[in-house]
Amino acid sequence: MIQLYIAEKPSLGKGIAQYLPGPHKSGNGHIVCGGGNVVTWARGHIFEQADPEFYTPDDVPLNSKGTKRWRLQDLPIFPEQWIKLPKADARAEIKVIRDLLKQADTVVNAGDPDREGQLLVDEILEEMGWKGPTKRIWLAALDEQSVRKALATLKDNAEYRNLSAAAEARSRADWLVGMNLTRAFTLVNAGSGVLSIGRVQTPTLALIVRRDEAIEQFKAKDFFVPRIQAAKGQTSFWSAWVPVEGAPGLDEESRLTNRSVADTIAAAARSVGKAVVEDFQSREQKQSAPLGFSLSELQKACSAKFGMSAQQVLDCAQALYEEHKAASYPRTDCRYLPEEQFAESGRVLSALAKHPAYGPLVAKADPRLKSAIWDTGKVTAHHAIIPTGEMEGTLGEARQKVYDLIVRSYLAQFYPPYVYRATKIVLVCATQRWQANGKVPVSAGWKAIYALSASEDGDEDDQQGLPVVLKGDELQVVASDVQAKQTKPPKRFTDGTLIEAMSSIHKYVEDPEAKKKLKETSGLGTEATRASMIEKLLKYGFIERRSKALQSTSIGRALVNGLPKVLTDPVTTAQWEEVLSAIADGRVQADIFEQKQQSFVEVLIQVAQKTRINVGAARPASGAGGSGKTPARSKKGKGKGNGQSAAHR
């Protein structure tokens, strides 16, 4: 009896094989283990959707590259039967898997623990006509304990069919929108190069374009902050004027824009010379350690701290998971851990204690502490990214930086809260109110892990050393002044802040109902795709990197400003992601979603024929005038196109 494990990639397959019974014998693209177990692997998706020309009439003329020309009359292209084709560089893997399937009695789907990983192996089985029993191994980490536990708890693969359906629906929607609308807008605007349109990439580009336009159209406004310096004994401190609604010189955001009014307020206070304490509050406050890293949070942190691109961070995190077995599955949107996993924390801490950099930190940790990160009810398909306590091989500089943040985030969960004393003093002087705020560290707590100071999470106006005063105390005013300030434009996006914007897209939506819905359910793209969207926009020349900043090009701006709003509005694609999640949960049928996508495309093709976009010398991309591979089999072939459609996502 042969049980065949089909892993998503070689590293995952080899990681599983080493914990199956021996003896182990390596073969061509597979490993034979004891007990009738055999492990083989793909290399990502080894099948892909056929290109649009596969579905267009046979009499379409060819271009100079020998592929069919793009023609408006062929649009929309809606496959009656979705066709998948083997990838040209995957022939070896396909042959190995096909031969092993002929000998197998049972198959175990060992794709990554997400909807794309589920689809990747399911489509192999479908294309190769496998009808036998199929199980599923769900691996969130590749350390020994996680793998052995997963091997002991194999599930029926049928329990995950909705994940496959959601991934297939996503792939088809990307194809329908990207392939049809890219062709439509490109053909109508001949001479502008390929105008790549994508379900996620176009709204993402719009975020960058709108931010850049806001920066360039920004006009700085002067505003003024009157202050007084009050003293109690030998201790003096500054207090800022508190605006009063209706006061002269205030703008709509309660900023004082009239310098003469500011000077008058400050001078009056100085001339009175006394201030009375109206309110005094001083109390210790606690700040717990931040939750664990989702991929977006990790990308944001590495972008800010190291200037790393989102793709670099993902690549490093993936390597830490696959190659080094040092961290858990990276493509997660969750920042929590299952409570059941708390029992394993002692083992992880003991392993980390052996590392010279982390030993002293582990020594000060309290393994009995159970922070807010441990909450099974808030864990989604995957838990937060954490260290496994294992390490295979040596880390390069970039991977070490990412790993270090993951480790410190985990260790912080076993440290007490950061404690600080927050103080507020409200004074009355010359009939005006003035306020001083202060923050003084009491106990570093988890911040000791990062060597952070109070100023790093406080307001720039926070002061240390505010005196203890009582309500009614009279203080001397020893000085007054007016601080001249200017409003600042928004900052350009970096990889980290763009990833954050994509995952919190509700903040960029004005409609109250849509904002509320998106806050609860959706983002722009997924944890696994956001980094690739940035790279795609760079590839097409729609954006460029300037130091850490991402900035739109003239081509990118022209495209965004020329397209209908429904293609650039983040609400549209975020709502699609919500439906895809519903498909994964079994609440929506995939074919209904596909029908709606077809209707959407039909309407947009009509819009495209009336739209003129002047992008100047747009950057050409491969496939202009009729991209695509020569089909490897008949148009009448059967099969479902579940493969990737990343080019126009």
pLDDT at 622 (0 to 100): 36
Q: What token pair was written down for 52?
A: 């649009």
Q: Which fold has domain 222-288+417-486?
A: Topoisomerase I; domain 3 (2.70.20)
Pick the CATH number of 295-414 from 3.40.50.1220, 1.10.290.10, 1.10.3720.10, 1.10.580.10: 1.10.290.10
Beta strand pairing call for 549-552 and 543-546: antiparallel
Nearest to 199 by CA among 602, 571, 499, 608: 571
Other Cβ atoms closer than 10 A to 398:
16
Marked catalytic residue, from 329, 358, 415, 418:
329
pTM: 0.84
Burial class (CB in 10 A: 0-12, 13-18, 19+), 104: buried
Least confident interval from 62-66, 268-272, 405-409, 566-570? 62-66
pLDDT tens column, 506-526: 888 887 877 777 777 668 888
Specify which residues 156 forms β-bridges with.
135
DSSP E strands: which ranges in 602-645?
A: none
CB neighbour burial string for 491-510, b if at least 16 within 10 angstroms, e if fewer: ebbbbbbbbbbbbebbebbe
pLDDT tens column, 23-33: 999 999 999 99
Distance in angstroms (rounded) separating the CA atoms of residues 77 and 66: 20
- Asked whether residue 649 carries a pLDDT value surpassing 70, the answer given is no
pLDDT tens column, 432-489: 999 999 999 999 999 999 875 444 555 667 788 899 999 999 999 999 999 999 999 9
- Asked whether residue 224 carries a pLDDT value surpassing 70, the answer given is yes
pLDDT tens column, 528-581: 889 999 999 999 899 999 988 999 999 999 999 999 999 999 888 878 888 998
Q: One-letter amino acid identity for 204?
A: T
pLDDT at 522 (0 to 100): 67
pLDDT tens column, 396-424: 999 999 999 999 999 999 999 999 999 99
Pick the CATH number of 3-161 from 3.30.365.10, 3.40.50.140, 2.60.40.2470, 3.30.70.360: 3.40.50.140
Stretch (H or E) spanning 204: helix 201-217
pLDDT tens column, 146-177: 899 999 999 999 999 999 999 999 999 999 99
Nearest to 627 by CA among 68, 31, 39: 68
Pick the CATH number of 166-216+491-608 from 3.90.79.10, 1.10.460.10, 3.90.110.10, 1.10.645.10: 1.10.460.10
Residue recorded with tokens 């359906």: 165
Beta carbons of 626 and 66 less than 8 angstroms apart: no
Domain boundaries, given as residue ranges, for the chain = 3-161, 166-216+491-608, 222-288+417-486, 295-414
pLDDT at 458 (0 to 100): 55
Q: Is 403 tagged catalytic?
A: no
User: Coil, strand or helix: which one is 364?
Assistant: coil
